[in-house]
Amino acid sequence: MADSARGLAGDFKRFLAAQEEDELLDISRPRAQTDLPPAALHHNATKQNAGVSTAPKMAENSTLTVDFPHANTQPPAPVEEPTMNKTDKTRALNELAEVIKTCTRCPLGATRLNAVPGEGNVSADVMFVGEGPGFDEDRQGRPFVGRAGQLLDKMILAMGLTREKVFIANIAKCHPMVDPLHPEKHGNDRAPNAQEIACCRKYIEQQIAIVCPKYVIALGGVAAKALISDADSLGALRGKFHTLHLDSAELPKPVQIIATYHPAALLRNPNWKKDAWQDLQMVMDKLGLKGARK
Ligand code: URA
């Protein structure tokens, strides 16, 4: 117990120590229906074909009755849909990525260099969701590879995980720019707007449904509002688990989501790292993760 407390204190120190390095990283981020591939919809088809009905039955007299075969015992546990196997998940995510790479549903499709579908372990327990690609991500076609990504890597390591063990994606799949006429400019990033988020929503929802992680960690207000509640601030959404509800995809099993600060915000406000670490520890506790050890 004392050892584990010491270990976590050590992790936390290392996470905070990253601050000095991070201060050198000048992240100048101003705060500013397409058809999905058949495999991406596979688990929905599985559900329809599973032959297991959890819906209440309508009796002949048209009153709604719920059929509990053993009325005096416990009601049956909710039926969990079987999750897809690794091969099917990989195929579905790859097919979805191909759709995303050619998407022109919103104007960002015309100005991006590369779409950034997301990447990681298809069987991850933890999925991180950011707001949208920045300068570096646009060039590499990979999520969180710039300065904010370097801090995200440290956060992942501090949790006792690695980038290979988690899945990382964004709400918007293409780089939102303040000045789309000058994509070569640094400091040209902005948050995706409501129209861009609406166009992209299906993609992140399908990715979450396919990976079906145990926990989603929404990084920053844009992701938290898009996935949890548009009506609340990041401050109101942080510090608790929420059950994730998707609009366009069905989850094979319940997924919990928490919100924390975006790594770019932590680079600007290192004093928030303590709170972010508390958020991450909520997920670590649930998964029995002890954090990074020397
Ligand atoms: N910020 C994000 O929200 N996502 C990225 O991929 C990079 C920076």
In 180-190, which positions are buried (b, 16+ CB within 10 angstroms) versus exposed (e)? eeeeeeeebbb
Give the tokens for residue 18: 């990253």
Instruction: Assess if CATH 3.40.470.10 describes domain 86-287.
Output: yes
C-alpha 145 – ligand 1 centre gap (Å): 8
Atom of ligand 1 nearest to the CA of 137: 6
Atom of ligand 1 nearest to the CA of 130: 3
DSSP state, 250?
A: -
Q: How many residues does the chain have?
A: 294
Distance CA 222, CA 192 (A): 8
Decide if pLDDT at 153 tops 50.
yes
DSSP sequence for 72-125: TSPPPPPPPPPPPPHHHHHHHHHHHHHHHHT--SSTHHHH-SS----EE-TT-S
Helix 273-287 to helix 2-24 angle, to the nearest 10 degrees?
140
Q: pLDDT digits over 34-88, tens only? A: 445 544 444 333 333 333 232 333 333 333 333 333 444 555 665 566 679 999 9
pLDDT of residue 292: 86
Q: What is the mean pLDDT of residues 162-186?
A: 96
- The CB density around residue 136, as the number of other CB atoms within 10 Å, is 17
* Ligand 1 neighbours by CB, cut-off 6 Å: 130-134, 137, 143-144, 146, 148-149, 170, 264
Query: How many Cα atoms sit within 13 Å of 196 on the Cβ side?
Result: 23
- The CB density around residue 124, as the number of other CB atoms within 10 Å, is 19
Q: What is the pTM of this model?
A: 0.78
- Choose which residue among 114, 144, 171, 222 to substitute to test ligand 1 binding: the one with the highest number of ligand atoms within 8 A of its C-beta: 144
- The answer to whether residues 68 and 76 touch, using CB atoms and an 8 Å cutoff, is yes
Question: For the purposes of burial, counting CB atoms within 10 Å of the CB of 231, is it exposed (0-12), middle (13-18) or buried (19 or more)?
Answer: exposed
Identify which has the larger pLDDT, 5 or 103: 103
Among residues 227, 112, 111, 113, the alpha carbon closest in space to that of 169 is found at 227
- The answer to whether residues 17 and 187 touch, using CB atoms and an 8 Å cutoff, is no
C-alpha 209 – ligand 1 centre gap (Å): 21
pLDDT of residue 186: 94
Percent of the chain whose pLDDT exceeds 90? 70
CA separation, residue 147 to residues 19, 23, 106, 268, 289 (Å):
12, 11, 26, 11, 26
Decide if pLDDT at 198 tops 50.
yes
pLDDT of residue 46: 34
- The answer to whether residues 160 and 148 touch, using CB atoms and an 8 Å cutoff, is no
Would you list the domain boundaries of the chain? 1-73, 86-287
